[in-house]
Each structure stands twice: as C-alpha cells, then as structure tokens.
Amino acid sequence: MNLDLDFSYQSYEKLLKELIVKKYSNPLIGDVLSPKKLLYLRHDVDTDYIGVIPLATIEHSLGMKSTWYFLPDCPVYNICSNKIQLIIRQLADMGHQIGLHIDATQYENLEEMISFIESYYEFLSSFLPISRTLSFHKPADWLLNDVNIPNWVNAYQKEYYSEVIYVSDSNRREFWKEVRLYTAINENKSLTLLTHPLWWKEASLTSEELFEYTCKILGTNVVEAYLKETCKRYS
C-alpha cells in the first residue's frame, strides 16, 4: 500500500479515512487502554495557530480525537490572547485534549523545568481547559528516553513513543514516503502521528510559498524574530 499525499487538508482527511478503514481505535494520549492497534493523534503548535481549527474540524467530522500541545512561552503567539483562548475552547468543545508544549532549553535543570510547568499549569488551567499532558519542543535526546514528569502524562513516554510506531512531519518531513507508516498499517501496530499545523494548508505549498504565507499571516516581524531566536539557540 502507498498513499499519494501532500500537505493539504484534503490529504490529511484521506490519511485519517484510510486509518479508520484499517480499524484503528483512537484514544487520547493518557487514556488507559489495552494495547491493541491504537492511533494517537498529536499536534504541536509551534508557530501557526491558523491551521489548528481546520485540522481539528477534519478529525472531529470523522469522529476522531487528538491532543493539541501549545507553547506557554511562544515568541509567535500568546496563549493568553483572546484568539488563542478561543481556539483552545473550540478544540475542547470538539472533544480534543489540550496540553502544554515545553521548550526544555529555557531551563537550567529538570527541577527548574518542573517548577515552571507546574506554575504554567496552575495559572493557565484556572481559565483554560488544559489537561496534565505535555510534549517537548525540539526535544534533546535525553527527553526522548521515557522521562518521568511527576503527575504529568508525557507524550514521549514509551506508550506513545518507543512502544508504538512513531510518525511525524517534523521539519516538514513527507512521512507518507517513509516505510514506517506502512509498516504500522500492514503489521497492525499501534501508531502515534505527530503533525504540526504550520505545514498543512488548503492546498499544499512549496517551502517558499509557505514562508511567504506565514510571514503575511503571522506578521513578518514576528516570524523574523522567531527565526532569529531559533537560529541563535541552536547555532
């Protein structure tokens, strides 16, 4: 089997429909279930919040649920702003789960990171429907190793990462051209699918078109500042 996909909403829908046909069950990250042919849908909202509702609506229309991780300290969007609050409430109304996307590079050590996570949760959960689940933004290798964050469900725990087939569109990877997805489907294995709304559009864009679009929608200054900060941190 091979799926002919691109980064369009239509392709995302086609992929989900294929997984429904293959009889995947679709729990949320954190649901306790017997481990059989599960499909965990996960999204990290790194920059582009515009694509969130379109993708979430496709999932909802197919009766599926996913977990959306928002950065509490994002340089591009403000999780406390009215527009992001509205998006988060719409997600919750559709039955999706909302968690925190944590950039561990901001902290000196694990203890400091956990303290910040708790502070963010205490504040944000007082007015937003946020669950005690988190994922890491551009995780260092040690964070992929089943790290236990007390009282939190970590999306990189083995149940959702190393014990399933993990497929992601990180760095705009065209994951449908890789064998992993088909291995999962053909061998009836559980699957975590991580997608970033930034890449997905009404019609699939080239990298140049995507950069232009994102600058236009989110504001050139904001995107430029984000890229500068990201390049500095990883250089």
Question: Which residues lie near Zn ion (CB under 5 A)?
Answer: 44, 46, 137
Residue nearest to Zn ion (CB): 137
CB of 211 to Zn ion, least distance (A): 18
Q: Determine the Cα–Cα distance for residues 230 and 235; give it in Å rounded to an integer.
A: 8
Nearer CB in complex with Zn ion: 124/194? 194
CB of 189 to Zn ion, least distance (A): 25
Are 84 and 120 within 8 A, CB to CB? no
CB of 162 to Zn ion, least distance (A): 19
> From its phi and psi, is residue 62 left (phi > 0), alpha (psi between -120 and 50) or beta?
alpha
**Angle, in degrees to the nearest 10, between helices 9-21 and 52-61:** 30
CA 80 to chain centre: 19
Nearer CB in complex with Zn ion: 46/59? 46
CB of 65 to Zn ion, least distance (A): 20
Token pair in block for residue 115: 């303290």
Nearer CB in complex with Zn ion: 136/176? 136
Neighbours of 201 (CB within 10 A): 20
Nearer CB in complex with Zn ion: 19/124? 124
